[in-house]
Amino acid sequence: MATRSKSSQRWLKEHFSDPFVKKAQAEGLRSRAAYKLEELVERDRLLRPGMVVVDLGAAPGGWSQWIRQELDRLDPARPGRVLALDILEMPPLAGVEFLHGDFREDAVLSNLETMLAGQPVDLVLSDMAPNKSGVEAVDQPRAMYLSELAMDFADRHLKPGGAFLIKLFQGTGFDDFVRDLRKRYAKVAIRKPAASRRRSPEVYALAQGKLPAIK
């Protein structure tokens, strides 16, 4: 049997001692990532009854699960919609419409647009990230490409005044991407929620108030 590397052993130890992992397990949430979203959404009161929310890079479903619960809590009579997409399979969640596919493929984007049926989106979430090779010169461009695709989707489907929350990795292309966001939204903030591991280069850009036209 192969032995685990020291780095993988360290990750396992860190993961299972993580208070957010324990909390997610205790509260029946699919992933600790739900607490990142909870902090980011509640700080700016992004949710309203009846919203249409698209969750890109949704598996294993922590964000979609939390959003669905919150929308139901806000007003059960106006549940809105939660549409989730991922290249990985995701076990079903009640009240969440899931599309399995690679967001980089035109056919998958077309299927997502068909599901929306012309309905404008209030909030676009993107927690997408490429499979890491460990080589920053490879990983960062892949991550920025996914970010560009998510921004393009928001350009086309997010209603004026809507919000876009996206995970980014600091590195080449990051500053240019944030500048592009500022041309599209009234307010852009960079946040690192408490549930993000400190050594992770990830941050979240929250863009609010989509402008009717790009500056």
Task: Write out the binding residues for S-adenosyl-L-methionine.
Answer: 61, 63, 86, 102, 127
Plot region of 127 (φ>0 → left; ψ -120 to 50 → alpha; else → beta): alpha
CA distances from 192 to 39, 83, 92, 196, 197 (A): 10, 25, 29, 7, 9
**Active-site annotation holds for 192:** no
Distance CA(84)–CA(98), nearest Å, equals 5
Nearest to 34 by CA among 199, 203, 146, 194: 194
Q: Which residues pair with 208 in a beta bridge?
A: 163, 187
**Of the listed 13, 167, 183, 187, which one is catalytic?**
167
Nearest to 126 by CA among 90, 152, 159: 152
Return the SS3 of 69.
Answer: helix
- Number of Cα atoms under 13 Å in the Cβ half of residue 170: 9
Q: Which residues pair with 100 in a beta bridge?
A: 86
Q: Is the separation of the CB atoms in 211 and 160 below 8 Å?
A: yes
Catalytic residues, which ones? 167
